[in-house]
Amino acid sequence: MSSPTDLAPAPTADEAPAADPYGLGSSALRSDALPKALGIYPYAADLWAEGLLWGAVLRAPHPHARIVSVDTSAALAIPGVHAVITAADLPPGPEGTPDGAPDGPITADRPILASGLVRHQGEPVAAVAADHPDTARLAAAAVLVEYEVLEPVTDPEQAFNAPPLHPDGNLFRHIPLRTGDPEAVGEIIVEGLYQVGRQDPAPLGAEAGLAVPRPDGGVELHLSSTDPHGDRDRTAACLGLEPDRVRLVVTGVPGATADREDLSFQVTLALLALRTGRPVKMTLTREESFQTHTSRHPALLRYRHHADADGRLVKIEAQILLDGGAYADVSAEALAAATAFSVGPYNCPNVFVDAWAVRTNNPPAGRMRGEGALQSCFAHESQLDQLALRVGVDPLEIRRRNAMATGDPLPTGQAVTCPAPVAALLDAVSASPLPLLPMDDPEGDWLLPGGPGGAGDPSAVRRGIGYAVGMVHMLGAEGEDEVSTATVRVSGDHATVICAAVDSGQGFATLARQIVQSVLGVTEVYIAPVDSDQSIAGPSARGRHTWVSGGAVERAALMVRHQLLQPIAANFGMSVELLSIADGKITSYDGVLGMPVGEALEGKELWATAQCRPHPTEPLDEAGQGDAFVSVAFCAMRAVVDVDIELGAVRVVDVTVAQDVGRALNPRQIEERIEAGVAQGVGLALLEDLRTEGGRLVNPSLTGYRLPTALDTPDVRIAALLEERDVVATFGAKAVSAVPAVVAPAAVAAAVRAATGLPVGRLPILAEDAIVG
């Protein structure tokens, strides 16, 4: 905090205050920052409607069981209960029998309400609407379900030979990647077995929503969806309605580093509203939230690296096993990323990988920042540290010798045509000064591992420095059609952007405002609320909205710009290309014309709609080959840790980041996203693990599931934001949120390894993994 003498003097009457920054390249402040800080930003849990009923869900207590019978009579007899629904109330399956209306983002295998079998603990079986939330929960508990408990399959290695848990079988996908000479052998061979636990997105706000029946027999849903059109279409299909009979209105999103509400939540909420003819609201408890949304795929990875005497990679062999849980969700996508990035941002001529994603009776896994890439990053970076030790070189040097560059191929055969400044990123983090040791800063407070007042002995604390580099793909993959649509309207001195791209915290609304400001010179830009009546923009995932939706906004704004400038250019007998807009003024190339944008827009209403669709990709073939990704982004990181080698307590002191951003469209937002990604990565490295025993969640609460606090989160320093533009990307920019979360766990593990001399082979790192002697 500044002292009074540090404050700048008030401006005089002749000094105008500096204008707020706007336009691309500026660090414009998020428009929702203040209301969120003040606690007045509206979320779904805050919604209300006249005649409101409350919903509650009965969930299966078993990870694997056959449903023998369901009796709803006791629940219906409770005063205040208006409806009880089960799988029998959903549209029947192809054979005319209840099947729970299965759905999924790729494969439709997850029932909305369990029918016949439950395949994971917490699976929805019935739902209730009542006039009070306590009554609704009481009624849900009164639904009598008779189960025949079955033996769960919880070990993904046993899933291959276990009886099928689903008609689709236990194997979601197998990718055999083959490139190069299988007989190649290196002079040096290092091997490792690595495990990654189940990290949960643990959003700040649990799932909540409101469903309102419509006079036409449809329903309006108010949810914090991150894919309004996808959710609308799938909800309509599960209800047996046409898509135009379902409208989804996006409310404030209280945290979304993964997918938000699963479809079962949305469909049961809508069905209760349709059944009762009244608005129904549902808010989940934190335990239900852990049970219902997907988490990161737990993984088991076996690696063997071959290298020559100088440490240059000769061959990599790997086996990757992802536990997809009970239902497919996006396991096939995650497996493709884990396989394609199994080598990391390094060159290796011979790569042989077998990767599987399997079904178990564990909680379903799904989309979460850097899905697939994170698991592989931990393994390949751990292998590089082993290789550096064997060769006798610095961990930075072993990475420099093998670093990928623009034009080099992935093991899938796809050439990396975008900028790949891996060596420059490594140079940037290595050149950044290290934090001081406590002995070098006697005036500073030394926070020991374990927190203030901990039991640790300072003499048992060792400092470690670790490095890691990683990569993620942007947008959809393997032939997924990526498209977004936006409309820009200008009336007088302000503009409106209509785009169904959900700002889930990544700052798209701020970016869209900056795009219009830069293209049109209009400072007042309004971003319309998102709903499914707008044209499709696609899901908020893999950094796609900066590229695809930002591209649509730019194209629409450029079309409006042409409409604005064309008559002006005609009046002056010149082409539109000879006019420019900057600092709120239209000027000609020769300086003869200088007109404020507001004056040119006076009395006009202009609008345009445009789409953006990046170049297509293709699925991986039977050998794991193909141009599966639109583009990739890279990040290098250095982590500094203090480890109490007697207690196994670890404190991350400092994380230094160098990131490939293409172009910094909003430097402040980029730094914030990097800090958030590092915090999430540190959480997985040291704390976060959604544990199960026999398929049952052990710690489904924010007390049991440990998240990093302010004391656990390190200082994050940005060594470099490398701006080498990707010529095919909108504005040349790359996604920034996922790759720091991918790299941070590997960097922290490397630092703990350096401090202790112990092989760190699992995430999160437990105390026993860091105790020496």
Q: If pLDDT is split at 50, 70 and 90, which confidence band does 1 have?
A: very low
Tell me which of 594 and 323 has the higher pLDDT. 323
pLDDT at 436: 86
Phi, psi at 296, each rounded to 5°: -70, 145
Between 462 and 571, name the one with better pLDDT: 462
Q: Over 80: is that where the pLDDT of 431 sits?
A: yes
Q: Is the peptide bond before 156 cis (omega within 30 degrees of 0)?
A: no
Nearest C-alpha neighbor of 312 from the set 348, 353, 276? 348
What does the pLDDT read at residue 21? 64
Strand 124-130 relative to strand 53-59: parallel, antiparallel, unpaired? antiparallel
Query: What is the mean pLDDT of the segment spanning 738-756?
Result: 97
Of all residues in the chain, the percent with pLDDT exceeding 70 is 94
pLDDT at 454 over 80: no
Q: Three-class SS string for 396-436?
A: HHHHHHHECCCCCECCCCCECCCCCCHHHHHHHHHHCCCCC
- Letter for the amino acid at 74? A
- pLDDT(278) > 80: yes
| Torsion region of 645: left, alpha or beta (phi above 0 gives left; psi -120 to 50 gives alpha) | alpha
d(CA 140, CA 129): 9
Q: Which residues, including other chains, have CB under 8 Å from residue 313's CB and lie 6 or more apart?
A: 186, 305, 306, 307, 343, 346, 347, 348, 349, 402
What mean pLDDT do residues 592-597 have? Answer: 82
Amino acid identity for residue 165 in this structure? L
CA distance 258 to 137: 27
More confident residue, 69 or 252: 69
pLDDT band of 2, cuts 50, 70, 90 = very low
Mean pLDDT of the chain: 91
CA–CA dist 186, 316 (Å, integer): 10
For the segment 631-690, what is each residue's pLDDT rounded down to a tens digit? 999 999 999 999 999 999 999 999 999 999 999 999 999 999 999 999 999 999 999 999
The type of residue at 148 is E
User: Per-residue confidence at 574, pLDDT binned at 50, 70, 90?
Assistant: confident
6-17 per-position pLDDT tens digit: 333 333 333 333
**Between β-strands 350-358 and 313-323, what pairing exists: parallel, antiparallel or unpaired?**
parallel
Highest mean pLDDT among 43-47, 321-325, 474-478, 643-647: 321-325
Residue 4's pLDDT is 33
Q: Is residue 43 classed as helix, strand or coil in its secondary structure? A: strand
- pLDDT, residue 18, reads 40
The predicted model scores a pTM of 0.92
What's the CA angle centered on 514, arms 633 and 232, to 5 degrees? 70
Q: Average pLDDT of 371-378?
A: 97
What is the CB neighbour count within 10 angstroms for residue 310?
A: 12
- Tokens representing residue 160 in the block: 């291959």
Q: Could you tell me which of 680, 684, 660 has the C-alpha nearest to residue 732?
A: 660
Burial (CB count within 10 angstroms: exposed 0-12, middle 13-18, buried 19+), residue 92: middle
Count CB neighbours of 482 within 10 A: 20
Lowest mean pLDDT among 69-78, 392-401, 440-449: 440-449
Hey, what amino acid is at 398? Answer: I
Cα–Cα distance, 24 to 56 (Å, whole number): 45
Question: What is the rounded average pLDDT of the residues 722-736?
Answer: 90
The number of C-alpha atoms within 13 Å of 694 and in the hemisphere containing its C-beta is 7
pLDDT tier at 558 (50, 70, 90 boundaries)?
very high
- Interval 267-276 mean pLDDT: 96
By mean pLDDT, which of 171-175, 379-383, 665-669 is the weakest?
A: 665-669
Which helix H or strand E contains 739, and what residues bound it?
helix 738-756
Q: Cα–Cα distance between 356 and 339 in angstroms, integer? A: 9
pLDDT band at 39 (very low <50, low <70, confident <90, very high): confident
The pLDDT confidence band at residue 258, using thresholds 50, 70 and 90, is: low
Residue-wise pLDDT for 398-423, tens only, equals: 999 999 999 999 999 999 999 999 99
Q: Which amino acid is at 713?
A: T
pLDDT at residue 27, rounded to an integer: 85
